[in-house]
C-alpha cells in the first residue's frame, strides 16, 4: 500500500523550514500532499492561489509531492486523499506542546490516521512564516529564509 502523508499548514508563505520537512518526509513516505487549510484564527498575507503556485514551483520536479487546498477537519481531508499519516514539523518544545494536543484530538476523531513529527534541522529552527511575513512587510531581505526563486 502506498504510504501517503498529508502535510497540513498555512504556508503563508512557504519557507526553507517547510521544504526541509518535506524533503525529510520523502525519505519515509511514498507521497506527500501539502495541504493548505483554511484556519479561522489566521488572516493570511498571501492568497491561496499564490501560496499554491509557489509550492508547485518549488516541487515542480518532484512528482511525489502534490499541493492541495482544503476546508474542514484535517483528518477528514486525510481520508479523502487516502493519507494515513499527518506530517508536522517541530521547532521547539512550544511547538510540541501545541502539536501534541492536536494530534491527540485527531486520534480521537479518526483512528486510522497517525501523526508523525519530524524535527526541524538546527539551521531552520528559527524560521517561521510569521517572521518571513514581517520581513516582507518591512521590505527586508527575506532571501535566506525562503526557497530559491521565490520572489514576493
31 in Cβ contact with 64 (< 8 Å): yes
DSSP per-residue letters across 40-61: TT---SS-HHHHHHHHHHHTTT
Choose the binding region for ligand ADP from 49-57, 104-112, 121-129, 134-142 (rule: CB under 6 A): 121-129
CA 96 to chain centre: 15
Binding to ligand ADP (CB under 6 A) within 24-43 occurs at: 39
How far is Cα 135 from Cα 148, in angstroms, rounded to an integer?
16
How many residues contact ligand ADP, by CB under 6 A?
18
Residues identified as active-site: 18, 42, 91, 129
Q: Quick check: 91 binds ligand ADP (CB under 6 A)? A: yes
Q: Nearest approach, Cβ of 61 to ligand ADP (angstroms)?
A: 21
Number of Cβ within 10 Å of residue 99's Cβ equals 16
Q: Does 22 bind ligand ADP (CB under 6 A)?
A: no
132 binds ligand ADP (CB under 6 A): no
- The maximal CA–CA distance of the chain, rounded, in angstroms, is 47
Of the residues 95, 114, 131, 133, which one makes contact with ligand ADP according to CB under 6 A: 95
Residue count of the chain: 152
45 makes contact with ligand ADP (CB under 6 A):
no
DSSP state of 45: S
- Binding residues for ligand ADP, per CB under 6 A? 9-11, 15, 17-18, 20-21, 39, 88-89, 91, 95, 120, 124, 127-129
Amino acid at each position: 500500500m502506498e504510504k501517503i502523508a498529508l502535510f497540513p499548514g498555512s504556508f503563508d508563505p512557504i519557507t526553507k523550514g517547510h521544504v526541509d520537512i518535506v524533503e525529510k518526509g520523502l525519505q519515509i513516505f511514498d507521497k506527500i500532499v501539502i495541504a493548505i487549510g483554511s484556519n479561522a484564527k489566521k488572516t493570511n498575507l498571501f492568497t491561496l492561489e499564490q501560496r499554491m503556485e509557489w509550492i508547485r514551483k518549488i516541487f515542480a520536479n518532484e512528482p511525489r509531492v502534490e499541493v492541495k487546498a482544503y476546508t474542514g477537519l484535517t483528518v477528514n481531508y486525510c481520508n479523502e486523499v487516502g493519507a494515513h499519516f499527518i506530517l508536522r514539523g517541530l521547532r521547539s518544545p512550544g511547538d510540541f506542546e501545541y502539536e501534541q494536543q492536536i494530534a491527540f484530538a485527531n486520534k480521537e476523531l479518526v483512528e486510522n490516521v497517525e501523526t508523525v513529527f519530524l524535527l526541524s534541522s538546527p539551521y531552520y529552527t528559527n524560521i517561521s512564516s510569521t517572521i518571513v511575513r514581517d520581513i516582507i512587510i518591512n521590505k527586508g531581505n527575506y532571501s535566506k529564509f525562503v526557497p530559491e526563486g521565490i520572489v514576493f
